[in-house]
Amino acid sequence: MELLIRKVLAIRSAESPRVGPDGSIYYLSDITGTMQLWRFEGTSHDLVLPWSSRVHDYELARDGALAFTSDRGGSEKWQLYVVDGDEIVEASAEGVNYLGAWSPDAQKLAFSSTRDSTENFYIYVYDRRTRGIAKIAELPGLNFVEEWSEAGIFITHYETNLDSTIYMFRDGELKELTRHSGEALNFSPKYIGSGKLVFLTNMESECVGVAIMELSTGSWKYLVQLDKEVELLDAWGNYIAFAANEEGASGLYLMHIPSGLVHRISTPRGVVTSMHYSKGILAFSLSSINRGHEVYSYRHDAVVQVTRSPRLGISLERVPEPESVWYVSHDGRRIHANIYRPPGSARGVVVYLHGGPESQDRPALKPLTAALLLSGIVVAAPNYRGSAGYGRTFVHLDDVEKRWDAIKDVEAFARWLAEQGISRQRPCVMGSSYGGYLALMALATAPDMWACGVEISGMFNLVTFLERTAPWRRRYREAEYGSLERHRDVLLQLSPASHVDKIKAPLMIVHGANDTRVPVSEAEELAKRLRELGREVKLLILPDEGHTISKVENRVAAYAEVVKFVTRHLEAS
């Protein structure tokens, strides 16, 4: 069984495809053990460049030049590099750098960075000719350069994770395009020519849709408005491609803008994680619990699987499709959940809590979930209030003191699992990041309900977390959890640190030493407090990882220990 678990956890993935200038498909793959950039030119796959650290993101210029970001030790302090001919140039190493877009003539690269401010991602341009960098806009907060066309540079600025505005920079002037009152998301701008811009927005709507704007007047209207969230958008010629969130799975669509005709592309069931539309080719990555995470292309009305990552002899196809269910929580609100069942008989249940919290459990490949399933364990994943994917009202139902309702959603879900006969014994509760925090609160507020707990990269004390997280992150996290100045008492009341003495179940803690989002001190303090109380606790700190476990060898070692821990305690309950 241990070898099986290790094989499952070592399954490789391919993602983030781009269509190159010559029609070849670039993508990221961890086939070597770390995410690297690969290229498929129609007959063979080849590694684009040798690199010792993971490649996080990349952009291709029209003349074939390449820009990419990478970090060291999982720190997420992304450094920016440009591959120019046979030379790799370190373009920006200071601060945290987010890739943007190449200029139409391929001679300049726009990006955002904290190189001059620890709290603000200002906008910069790198010049290939001079190898110099110029700051072009001091837009405060979190900003992403999304496109550079003949119309200008398009930037998405985030006031909070749920409130954003699109700006256009041209001729030294920054112009706000999506001015709005109240909260609204505006992002993913794509210039389609003739003075028109398409973008994603939920202005005047409960769910995100596709809109089109006349840049000369600022007037806009919806092209696509559904009772579900549109998440990804790209454009080519007279067409747009978009992905919609359909109870967690993705629907992939093409729309002919002039006629309004929409075609649904037939894809495997799963989650479209990224896409790029160019030269008549729609390249996309799709992740599925029983198919893996692979790159596909769509052209001439046919979907073709481009990558086939190593499976190490594991037949993921044996894993059944997850069941999409709804349960009633403590106050009568209906909550969505996914139930993942093992291919054979079940040995117990793990309640898995997603991170975010503005995220969602979706039927994508999650190596730890797959390992649990193939070990005979049911994984039940609720999308408690505050989750994304169900409209703007639902995502705010856990803000600040309302977080108690999300905590109660977890307890109600565990009771529902027992009532339905899915869980015939005490389950284990598990989560990563915010899900790790929520797992701790579940263990503390319903201590007799759980056989064990697993907390990965989670917060133990919301006050110390906000004080110690990366400076630029604090503002965005306070919008969700509450302000240190105004809500300190609420933050303390909602912290597992205030209820740790109530935790009875054995707990395993996993954390990266280089985590800049949730400092490793949160895990260390949690373990210390539990040991002082005489509780069973297992602490695993990964010295060369950050907030996520990026290296395959670390994933295998850490998650194999998690599966063994869970299995042992489920069998004993």
Structure tokens, 110: 């726009």
Residue 551: its pLDDT value, please? Answer: 85
Give the residue extent of every domain in the chain: 319-572
Asked if the model's pLDDT at residue 2 lies above 80, the reply is no
Residues 347-397 pLDDT 10s: 999 999 999 889 999 999 999 999 999 999 999 999 999 999 999 999 999
pLDDT band at 233 (very low <50, low <70, confident <90, very high): very high
Residue 122's closest CA among 96, 104, 103, 101? 96
Lookup result for tokens 């009772």? 227
pLDDT band at 9 (very low <50, low <70, confident <90, very high): confident
Contact partners, residue 173, CB within 8 Å, separation at least 6: none
Segment 255-283 shows an average pLDDT of 96
Residue 276: its pLDDT value, please? Answer: 98
Q: How far is CA 296 from CA 68, 132, 158, 172, 497, in A?
A: 22, 37, 31, 40, 45
Residue 480: its pLDDT value, please? Answer: 86
Residue 277: its pLDDT value, please? Answer: 98
pLDDT band at 479 (very low <50, low <70, confident <90, very high): confident
Q: What percent of the chain has pLDDT over 90?
A: 87
DSSP state of 562: H
Asked if the model's pLDDT at residue 229 lies above 90, the reply is yes
pLDDT band at 474 (very low <50, low <70, confident <90, very high): confident
Distance from CA of residue 119 to its chain's centroid?
A: 21
pLDDT band at 1 (very low <50, low <70, confident <90, very high): low
Asked if the model's pLDDT at residue 113 lies above 90, the reply is yes
Segment 117-129 shows an average pLDDT of 95
Provide the pairing of β-strand 108-113 with 122-127.
antiparallel
Segment 414-428 shows an average pLDDT of 96
Neighbour tally for 559: CB within 10 Å: 25
d(CA 507, CA 536): 6
Return the beta strands (E) in 323-427 as ranges.
Answer: 323-328, 334-340, 348-353, 377-383
Segment 490-516 shows an average pLDDT of 96
Q: Vertex 189, ends 70 and 245: CA angle to 5°?
A: 85
DSSP state of 344: S
Residue 503: its pLDDT value, please? Answer: 97
Residue 73: its pLDDT value, please? Answer: 87
Residue 414: its pLDDT value, please? Answer: 98
Segment 139-153 shows an average pLDDT of 97
Segment 543-567 shows an average pLDDT of 91
d(CA 264, CA 100): 30
Lookup result for tokens 């503390």? 444
Residue 434's closest CA among 489, 473, 392? 473
Run of H or E including 524: helix 521-532
Distance from CA of residue 242 to its chain's centroid?
A: 18
Q: What percent of the chain has pLDDT over 70?
A: 100
pTM of the predicted protein model = 0.93
pLDDT band at 32 (very low <50, low <70, confident <90, very high): very high
Segment 511-531 shows an average pLDDT of 95
Segment 489-499 shows an average pLDDT of 95
Domain 319-572 is of which CATH architecture? 3-Layer(aba) Sandwich (3.40)
Segment 496-509 shows an average pLDDT of 97
Residue 6: its pLDDT value, please? Answer: 84
Residue 238: its pLDDT value, please? Answer: 95
